[in-house]
Structure 1
Amino acid sequence: MTSGLPTRTVAGVTIPNTTLITAALDYARQHSTDYTYNHIVRSLLLGTVISDKIPALLNRDREAHAVAAVLHDLGFPIGHPPHSKILSSDKRFEVDGANAARAFLKREAAGDDSDKWDKHRLQLVWDAIALHTTGSIVFEKEPEVQATSYGIWADFQGPDSGIGRPVDEYPRLGLMKGLKENMLHICKAKPQTTYDNTVGEWGDRYLGKDEYDRAPNLTQNLLETCGLDDKELG
């Protein structure tokens, strides 16, 4: 899983080249806008470059890392066809994406290769996607999970001119504007999934209180109104 895989070079970066990764790219392309698709490819490329410089991540499962990076934004609502089976009405977008990736793997890795995708590998991909926005947790996880987030975070935080060929060959195409549109859509469409995570910060900043207000739903407010008296609160 960490060696012996066929490879190919994309934008100057050597990545694994398996039938499953190709299928994941095709699946992501079907469910992504142009800017999202370019972002997920850059995330794989940058995650590979960064992780190959970190000794603790060198022996990662490179196929699991690639699949997780490629499928990590399946939960984005903008760009999906109508009535998409990927999107739920009651789950965080990261969980929608993680669930969709796990279903994809169970479907595509069936048959002769099913033994290669055991419960552990499935969980690695699920965790990498579900946790990719939670930096305080994700970088304490397994190498495959860390590698996925290193690439995603680098793509958002790195300057356009400093990343080189991945951006030259897979341009950003208004990624940050698209990210904002996705986050605000989620805040309005299923706000209950945004109160305890970073998505809600977008609603706080860009939506009026008549459109979005997570203040009454923050964990502290909920605890303070669940029957605790002044003595318990100190």
Structure 2
Amino acid sequence: MASTALPTKVVGGVTVPDTSLITKALDFAREHSTDYTYNHIIRSFVFGFIIADKLPHTKDRDREAHAVAAILHDVGFPIGHPPHSDVISKDNRFEVDGANAAREFLKREASSQEWDKHRLQLVWDAIALHTIGSVVFHKEPEVQACSYGIWADFQGPDRVAGGLLSWDEYNTVVEEFPRLGLMKGLKDNMLHLCRTKPETTFDNTVGEWGDRYLSVDEYSRKGKLTQDLLETCDLDEREPN
């Protein structure tokens, strides 16, 4: 479906796309989210549209792909899921769990004629990479647009470059979708991951929460970093003479 032909609605004072697939994504996100996560998802969705619609390189993006990625980007957060969730794995990063769940959702709910391999990959990449700023903002417009909104919700308008999100815009959205203690919820999720899936946290930002807030008896990355791995299997030392 061409992005320019999408039906729309107004959320938090912002015009966003409104398709049956987006509605299903919202329902799926609501089913797999706490209240604070769900409101964060909606704010990220809306902020992303505010910002990306003002930038020349993201203005003509696939708006439905952006919407679905933003709405499903945190379904990999573990807290709030039932004990035997089919979304949360035992051995994947939470971003990958979310990306995989979004891809399966699209394969199940979307038309294969409209959602080809490229569109599926855009959504997967947008979710899997959304915490890696040094990579995600060099990806396709849809992927960048998704992270613009996510990062804006955590950092606030003052840290959005170019004044692309005003405090008036921000406050209008937050009034409709309050934060509900998002940062405490984020911390709880990060520490839960450090405790229950530590091997998925050693090489990324999740581990920083464990480093700061957990005792070394609960969590430690000592000897588990990429540098440790490379230095303990130095193949140069095994070069034949």
TM-score range relative to shorter protein: over 0.9
- Which deviations, in whole Å up to 9, do the C-alpha atoms of 1:104-162 show, x marking residues without a partner? 000001xxx32000000000000000000000000000000000000000000006993
Question: What value does the CA root-mean-square deviation take over the aligned residues?
Answer: 1.6
Aligned-partner SS, 1:55: coil
Find 1:175's aligned residue among 177, 182, 185: 182
What is the correspondence of 1:26-175 to structure 2 with a 5 Å cutoff?
26-109=27-110, 113-158=111-156, 162=167, 163-175=170-182
CA deviation vs aligned residue, 1:37-81 (integer Å, no higher than 9, x gap): 000000000000000110110110000000000000011000112
| Aligned-residue offset at 1:222 | 1.4
What amino acid is the match of 1:223? L
In the alignment, residue 85 of structure 1 is paired with which amino acid? D
Distance 2:237 2:105 in 1: 50
Identity percentage over the alignment? 72
What's the offset of the Cα at 1:210? 0.4
- Structure 2: give runs of 5+ residues left out of the alignment: 159-165
Distance 1:57 1:159 in 2: 19
Give the C-alpha shift of residue 228 in structure 1: 5.2
Aligned residues: 229
1:221 shift after superposition: 1.1
- Give the ranges of 4+ consecutive aligned residues of structure 1 lying more than 4 Å apart after TM superposition: 227-232
The residue type paired with residue 119 of structure 1 is: K
Q: 1:215 aligns with which of 218, 222, 237?
A: 222
SS in structure 2 at match of 1:209: coil
Which shifted more, 214-223 or 57-66?
A: 214-223
Residue ranges of structure 1 left out of the alignment (5+ in a row): none
Q: How far did residue 200 of structure 1 move?
A: 0.4
Q: Deviation per CA, 1:212-231, whole angstroms, max 9, x where unpaired?
A: 00121001111111245779
Taking the aligned partners of 1:30 and 1:224, their CA distance within structure 2 comes to: 44
Q: TM-score normalized by structure 1?
A: 0.94
1:193 corresponds to: 200
* Residues in 1 aligned to 2:227 and 2:79: alpha-carbon distance in whole angstroms: 31
Partner of 1:10: 11
Could you say what secondary structure the match of 2:10 adopts? strand
Q: Which amino acid aligns with 1:46?
A: F
TM-score (norm 2): 0.92
Structure 1 pair 173–231 and aligned structure 2 pair: CA distance change class (3 A): same
1:184 counterpart residue number:
191
Paired residue type of 1:81: P
Deviations 1:3-62 (A, max 9, x none): 010000011000000000000000000000000000000000000000011011011000
CA distance in 1, matches of 2:221, 2:144: 30
**C-alpha separation in 2, matches of 1:231 and 1:104:** 47
